[in-house]
Amino acid sequence: MDADHDVLEELLAGNERHVTGLPEEYFGTVQTGQEPDVVTICCSDSRVPQERMWGTDGPGTVFTPSNIGNQVWDDDAGERIVDGGLLYPIHHTGTDAVAVVGHTGCGAVTAAYNAATGGDLPGPAGVSKWVELLVPVVEEALESGLIDTDADESQIINQLVEYNVEYQTQFLRAADDDVVPADLDIYGFVYDFQGVYGDEHGRAYLVTVNGETDPDVIVDDVPDSYDATVRSLLH
């Protein structure tokens, strides 16, 4: 194969390993439809393994839209509407839980922070659009008193990541009931592969449950064995 197609060869080889490693009847229960338990909207960062982080063993469990900065909205003629990739499983496959998943060291949040503090949008236009949607969130966060603006930039960014996760979940909770059903469970996590929240890299730390952000309250919603997964850089 031409050396210019090394990546293509890697993709083909990887898919071959995938096919040969699948158990018999792997897709048996989802051949004609899907009923995922949860839709997880994550940042489209190559370091955030959307299904693997939950230890899923088969297909059809997690619906996985993603975008720059794990944003639950899109822009429609200047109006923010709930993203269709998130709404599809809720309205058409019976999904009754959402997980918004940010991650430590997020480049989108960093870019929005830079723009909010006098820098330029990163470009090109398709990237800048999503970063620009985050700028008001960052600006509000910096005025909220929850961000330690005297800390080093990496700490500020990680606090902003958590703030953004909480903000995105609140946007969903504020949507009309015919768009986002009132009985939908909405969780917020920060996926930590840098040891910011604790020593376990790859842990998804729970930062909000159905609008609640106080760790002392949230911890009552999880089994005792998962108490350590409830952490916050803000509260």
222: helix, coil or strand? coil
Q: What's the Rg (C-alpha) of the chain?
A: 19
Query: Roughly what angle, to the nearest 10 degrees, separates helices 107-116 and 125-143?
Result: 70
Which two structure tokens, joined as six digits, stand for 35? 């009923």
Q: Which long-range contacts (CB under 8 A, 24 or more apart) does 176-182 make?
A: 179/82, 179/87, 180/82, 180/87, 180/90, 181/90, 181/96
* 103 labelled binding-site residue: yes
d(CA 79, CA 96): 25
- 177-183: list long-range contacts, CB under 8 Å, 24+ apart: 179/82, 179/87, 180/82, 180/87, 180/90, 181/90, 181/96, 183/96
Q: What does the alpha-carbon distance between residue 50 and residue 159 come to, in Å, rounded to a whole number?
A: 22
CA–CA distances in Å: residue 109 to residues 2, 78, 215, 230 = 38, 21, 23, 22
- Would the annotation count 106 as a binding residue? yes
For 164, the token pair is 């953004």
Residues in binding site = 43, 103, 106
Q: From the annotation, which residues make up the binding site for Zn(2+)?
A: 43, 103, 106
